[in-house]
Amino acid sequence: MKMGIVYYRNDGKSEVYYEGCVIATRERNFHDDSDFYAIVYDAEKDAIDSFVYDSTRWGGSGDAIVDATPEILEKAKMAWIRDQIKSGALKRRLELEAAYPSIGKTVKVVRGRTDKGFVGEIFWMREYVGHGYKKYIRVGIRDEGGNVVWGYHRNVDVINPEQVSDEIVVDYINLMAEKGAYKNPNMMSNVLKGRALNCPVITG
């Protein structure tokens, strides 16, 4: 039985790719079609890559079998960790999270027509839908003297946001690797897009 990624040709012969290096198989869904792809370890690049082996757009021409050995899985995980650290994307994500006003953080009103300069802790937040279905967030802020102001989330900044050290980033990436993120691109993608954290999407 052939392992890895197999392409079946019209002449009855087949071609095999990434034998012994298929880490996982995934499906990417579109409006009308789906692509079937494999997460593979590319030994020449010492990196993880993806390979589309079949699609409903062109109809059954390939197959993939997860066949990576424990040794290959370990190499793939280490390569993924290295590349995630090098990209710096997670650190930017965590820094954005640290600077995102949320309940329990100390903020200062720096924009808007009223209460500028007021400093206090956010104790309440709620999202609303306004005209044109535009979403906005209101916050309640209380200072040390018990005074409370209400305003728009967009008008406040976090004071002295928590610093994100390289050690924190490395620990987070290692934790995600142990959970299998190197086999599933959606896990890190969801974090970087804010679906796993309560703050805006990173672009660029």
The domain locations on the chain are: 1-68, 73-99+162-204, 100-158
pLDDT at 7 (0 to 100): 83
Query: 100-158 adopts what CATH topology?
Result: SH3 type barrels. (2.30.30)
- Residue 2 in tokens: 């052939």
pLDDT at 200 (0 to 100): 46
pLDDT at 83 (0 to 100): 96
Q: What is the pTM (predicted TM-score) of this model?
A: 0.77
Could you tell me the sign of the dihedral formed by the alpha carbons of 167, 170, 175, 178, in that order? negative
The whole-angstrom separation of Cα 14 and Cα 11 is 9
Could you tell me the sign of the dihedral formed by the alpha carbons of 84, 85, 88, 93, in that order? positive
Angle at which helices 185-192 and 166-178 cross, to 10°: 140
- Residue 111 in tokens: 């924009």
The whole-angstrom separation of Cα 4 and Cα 68 is 8
pLDDT at 194 (0 to 100): 64
pLDDT at 72 (0 to 100): 96
pLDDT at 186 (0 to 100): 85
pLDDT at 12 (0 to 100): 76
pLDDT at 107 (0 to 100): 98
pLDDT at 201 (0 to 100): 42
Low-confidence ranges of the chain (pLDDT < 50): 1, 199-204
